[in-house]
């Protein structure tokens, strides 16, 4: 009986959490959700670092900060070959909601690029990592919007999977 109750609770929490995330992000241009078997606090501990992108993304070789590490700060991410870079401005950061939002302000073929990470506590040492991206693609000769979207999806998937690998 206890096992059955536990299963029902897990299903309810998962369904409610999924609906909450969908309701929050129904307008996003790209979203990625990963369910992990770690507490939300442990997952957030990794995500909130913000300056280890070069450790979790093969697209970033170096990270430098201009200003504070946090709201108002700018993260400059340089490609591994040193030939390309993009700048990100941290817009929101909230430990209690386990979320942060940043805008890519330079270096990608899109404008008004806003990305967010959110960690949702699913209970029972489980959580959900939610990434959302909104952008306006800029037509250019080097990349189509489909290619840009595929690049974002691949980058997000890689970063989340690698980040989860650092959780202990």
pLDDT value of position 10: 44
Q: Map out the domains of the chain as residue ranges.
A: 2-166
The one-digit pLDDT tens for each residue of the chain (168 residues) are: 555 544 433 444 444 444 444 434 446 799 999 999 999 999 999 999 878 899 999 999 999 999 998 899 999 999 999 999 999 999 999 999 999 999 999 999 999 999 999 999 999 999 999 999 999 999 999 999 999 999 999 999 999 999 999 998
Residues in CB range of 27: below 8 A, 6 or more apart? 134
Question: What is the pTM for the complete model shown?
Answer: 0.79
pLDDT value of position 5: 46
CB contact at 8 A, 131 and 32:
yes
CB contact at 8 A, 102 and 70:
no
User: Of 3, 10, 1, which is closest to residue 124 (Cα–Cα)?
Assistant: 10
Q: How far apart are the first and last CA of the chain?
A: 32
pLDDT value of position 50: 79
Domain topology for 2-166? Alpha-D-Glucose-1,6-Bisphosphate; Chain A, domain 4 (3.30.530)
């Amino acid at each position: 009986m206890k096992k059955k109750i536990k299963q029902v609770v897990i299903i309810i929490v998962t369904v409610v959490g999924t609906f909450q995330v969908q309701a929050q992000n129904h307008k996003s241009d790209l979203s990625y959700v990963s369910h992990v078997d770690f507490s939300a606090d442990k997952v957030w501990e990794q995500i909130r670092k913000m300056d280890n992108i070069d450790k979790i993304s093969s697209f970033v070789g170096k990270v430098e900060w201009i200003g504070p590490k946090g709201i108002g700060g700018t993260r400059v991410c340089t490609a591994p070959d040193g030939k390309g870079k993009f700048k990100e401005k941290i817009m929101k950061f909230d430990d209690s909601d386990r979320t942060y939002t940043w805008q890519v302000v330079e270096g990608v073929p899109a404008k008004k690029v806003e990305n967010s990470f959110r960690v949702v506590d699913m209970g029972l040492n489980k959580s959900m990592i939610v990434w959302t991206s909104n952008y306006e693609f800029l037509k250019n000769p080097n990349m189509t919007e489909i290619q840009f979207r595929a690049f974002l999806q691949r980058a997000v998937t890689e970063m989340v999977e690698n980040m989860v690998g650092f959780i202990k």
